[in-house]
Structure 1
Amino acid sequence: MWGLISYLNSPELVGAFQRCCGLVPRETCSRVSQNGLVHANGSGKNGPVTIHRRGAEQVANGTSRAQDSNSNYKPASSPCETKGEEHPRPRYKVRNWLFYFLFVTSAALGHEVFYITFLPCIHWNLDPFLCRRLVNMWAVVMYIGQAMKDILKLPRPSSPPVVKLETRVDAEYGMPSTHAMAATAISFTLLLSAQERVKFPFELGLIVAVVLSALVCLSRLYTGMHSALDVICGVVISAIIIALSYPYWGTIDYLQLHNPLSPIVGVVLPLFLSYKYPELDHYSTTRGDTTIILACCSGCSVGYWVNERLGLTFDLAGPFPVTLPPLTLVALGLGVARFLVGLGMLVLTRQTVRWASLRVLCRISGASVSDVDARRRKEIEVPYKFSTYVSIGLVNSILVNRVFVMMGLWDLGNSV
């Protein structure tokens, strides 16, 4: 069993998959920090294993032996270092552009741009009920996955032999793959929830869910950001969460919409979890990204509760499951118009609230807005990101559809 686990966690397996798909390193090189060390998690910080590039010495647990006592020590040069680059990246060659575009596009399905477009689009063009379910499950699986990463602190695949295509999340740990978790959770939550609301061939929906989840999972191997073990664990964890929570989805819906304490819990609990997120000895994007996700869920949760109080939820009209009308050019045009108007409102909200909250918090803390290190401090990062994305959730769930009605982009006959 341990041999199988070691094999699935091997960077050589990831490298072999990349080469099989036509992504090969142009030359052997590694991410190098100023002191000439290659760090296991690619963060430039001391990780579980540190390898000294000058000789065969390996230093475990980030010990200070990596610092050469000779003040004139210079790290060994790398064949792929370029002048002026502090963190050179591996150069690679693409021999199969079909796989490259397929997997890079699939990897984008786990980024903020996808979530801030796909989830609201479900709300604006299909059914807010489905969006609510998706946002709830997205927040749960992502918090569990992100927290597990920073508790387990298992490194990402090493480079070489792996070619890494992403840089922003390179400082994060690897186990489990939150891309795999989110893709699995969103695909199958949508499948299971949609069958309650809309008539469609379940077998076709199942195939689409499996294919989309598999593409996102394989993209994490192709981009070199996760081992096969990271991906498998991510899928399994999401499957367990869905299986355990599925019987209670209806109860959660009812409490979220009708319980008078719902808006309080919807704000206090995510904010508490954001502040209590596991601490690291170096900065990582995981806390900020998790705060964004929890804040979106918080804002949407409060917004759905407010809509229920106001008596206009914009949900599909029953009895369920309903038969969706055919997709005509007029319906497609209205859908595109709603998407563009809604996205514009969300982007405007993001930029406005982010600008204002950052300046208020930096003034309170006596820091400069342009000071990147100050903006990464918990007392600034958590509240400014939380307030920004709570606002986005509120605008998405309360205001956008009402603007559609004012602009003639929404037919109230389709809602209850």
Structure 2
Amino acid sequence: MLELLAYLQDPELVARFQRRCGLFLVEAAHHSGGRTRDPEPTPVHADKPREQLRGRWDHQDKNSNYKHKENGYAVGGCSKPQYEVRNWLLHFLFLFSAGMGHEIFYITCLPCVHWSVDPFLCRRLVNMWAVVMYVGQVMKDVLKLPRPPSPPVVKLETRVDAEYGLPSTHAMAATAISFTLLLSAPSRIQFQFEVGLLIAATLSSLVCLSRLYTGMHSVLDVICGVLISGFLMFLTYPYWETFDHLQLTSRISPVVALAVPFFLCYTYPELEHYSTTRGDTTIILGAGAGSSVGYWVNEQLGQTFEPQGTLPVPLPTLTADTLALGAARLFVGVVALVGTRQVMKTLSLQVLYSWYKVRKRDDSARRRREIEVPYKFVTYTAVGLVNSIVVNRVFILLGLL
């Protein structure tokens, strides 16, 4: 078993997958100052000692300050090893798939389910998304297992490189979102289950494979992410209906929805270095908390915006008018959410900077727990509230719903 785990954690396994997909780590000889380089970068072979490669990249980093993208080669200087893309179709496919696993994608796309399909399904997806992401992010910072090193792996993302690796929260989120929708939709919408299963498996697989292609996770990270997400769904599935009922009808639901996530964010495990995991987790739980309170308010007001008639309802026909209406709702909704985010972010930071007597130009202050957690939680709680309460009512005023 230990040998199997070590094999799945081996970065060379990721590097081989990247090479099979047409992504190669390359060597490029150049002089100090980065004025020249080989016309044809040389692929790094697996049989070269990793220490030799590491030293070479370190040497190049100290003596270069250039970036090139020529003749089909995507070449980075400074702090990034150089790489060559030989299959652009797979390259863009996996980069797009990786984007589907980022928090910003879910925060902008999950509301579309609320606006154009069924708020009930959006509520289910947000709840499950918040659960699996919190568990995954905390596990990363408790286990502290590193991401695959470069070389031999090509790393195409830098923002999250300071985070730890296991489990892959992209894999967790993609699995939870895809299969929560698949399990929840049959009672609400008429569709062929086999087609839904194929779509869910395809989308989640693309996101998982993209984490290998971008060099951000080992095979073990991805497999564990899928298995943990599946386990959490299996564990919570029998209680989904009960939780829905309590979330919408209990008098203490708004208090619990705000207090518990904020407590979890503020007590998030501390690291010896700054990582984006706490901030990203706060964004997710804040958006979930705001949405939960908003759905409770809608239930109390008796206007839930859910499909009328006998359930499950048929899927709407994709006509030009339907697509235009959906695009208009998307535009108005995104403008409302982005505007809310910008206003609340500015106001909350001003209040916190004044309270803690921090200079407004001190961007590093945003990393302090007492500032980062409250401002992000308040900002995205407001985003969740606007999404669940306000946006649909704006649609009605504009004749879009």
Output the TM-score relative to the length of structure 1: 0.86
CA contact (8 A) 1:28 1:90 kept: no
Shift of 1:318: 3.4
Cα displacement string for residues 141-183 of structure 1 (whole angstroms, at most 9, x for unaligned residues):
0000000000000000010000000000000000000000000
Shift of 1:77: 2.2
Which of 363, 376, 380 is residue 385 of structure 1 equivalent to? 376
Cα displacement string for residues 111-161 of structure 1 (whole angstroms, at most 9, x for unaligned residues):
133112210000000000000000000000000000000000000001000
CA contact (8 A) 2:157 2:216 kept: yes
- Matching residue of 2:10: 10
Cα displacement string for residues 347-373 of structure 1 (whole angstroms, at most 9, x for unaligned residues):
000001001111110111111222122
1:227 aligns with 2:218: yes
Cα distance, 1:349–1:77 mapped onto 2, change above 3 Å:
same
Q: Measure, in 1, the Cα distance between the counterparts of 2:349 and 2:297.
A: 27
Cα distance, 1:315–1:76 mapped onto 2, change above 3 Å:
closer
Give runs of aligned pairs for residues 147-296 of structure 1, distance below 5 A.
147-296=138-287
SS at match of 2:24: strand
Shift of 1:305: 0.2
CA contact (8 A) 1:297 1:393 kept: yes
- Matching residue of 2:343: 352
Give runs of aligned pairs for residues 260-409 of structure 1, distance below 5 A.
260-409=251-400
Give runs of aligned pairs for residues 93-112 of structure 1, distance below 5 A.
93-112=84-103
Shift of 1:317: 1.5
Shift of 1:76: 6.3
SS at match of 2:326: helix
Q: Measure, in 1, the Cα distance between the counterparts of 2:196 and 2:328.
A: 26
RMSD between aligned residues: 2.0
Q: Measure, in 2, the Cα distance between the counterparts of 1:317 and 1:335.
A: 18
Give runs of aligned pairs for residues 33-112 of structure 1, distance below 5 A.
77-78=59-60, 81-83=63-65, 88-112=79-103
The AA in structure 2 aligned to 1:11 is P
Gaps of 5+ in 2: 30-50, 68-76
Q: Measure, in 2, the Cα distance between the counterparts of 1:362 and 1:138.
A: 31
Q: Measure, in 2, the Cα distance between the counterparts of 1:16 and 1:54.
A: 18
CA contact (8 A) 1:27 1:79 kept: no
CA contact (8 A) 1:80 1:90 kept: no
Shift of 1:194: 0.6
CA contact (8 A) 2:291 2:388 kept: yes
Output the TM-score relative to the length of structure 2: 0.89
Mean CA deviation greater in 296-305 or 1-10? 1-10
Shift of 1:12: 0.2
Cα distance, 1:19–1:9 mapped onto 2, change above 3 Å:
same
Shift of 1:27: 1.9
Give runs of aligned pairs for residues 108-127 of structure 1, distance below 5 A.
108-127=99-118
Shift of 1:220: 0.2
1:21 aligns with 2:21: yes
CA contact (8 A) 1:27 1:80 kept: no
Q: Measure, in 2, the Cα distance between the counterparts of 1:28 and 1:6.
A: 31
- Matching residue of 1:41: none
CA contact (8 A) 1:171 1:284 kept: yes
Q: Measure, in 2, the Cα distance between the counterparts of 1:28 and 1:11.
A: 22
The AA in structure 2 aligned to 1:82 is S
Q: Measure, in 2, the Cα distance between the counterparts of 1:167 and 1:308.
A: 42
- Matching residue of 2:122: 131
CA contact (8 A) 1:9 1:229 kept: yes
The AA in structure 2 aligned to 1:90 is P
CA contact (8 A) 2:132 2:176 kept: yes
Q: How many residues align?
A: 370
SS at match of 1:327: coil
CA contact (8 A) 1:28 1:160 kept: no
- Matching residue of 1:37: none
Cα displacement string for residues 12-59 of structure 1 (whole angstroms, at most 9, x for unaligned residues):
000000001000012289xxxxxxxxxxxxxxxxxxxxx89998xxxx
Shift of 1:2: 1.2
- Matching residue of 1:33: none
Gaps of 5+ in 1: 30-50, 56-74, 411-416
CA contact (8 A) 2:62 2:78 kept: no
The AA in structure 1 aligned to 2:24 is V
Q: Percent identity?
A: 63
The AA in structure 2 aligned to 1:77 is H
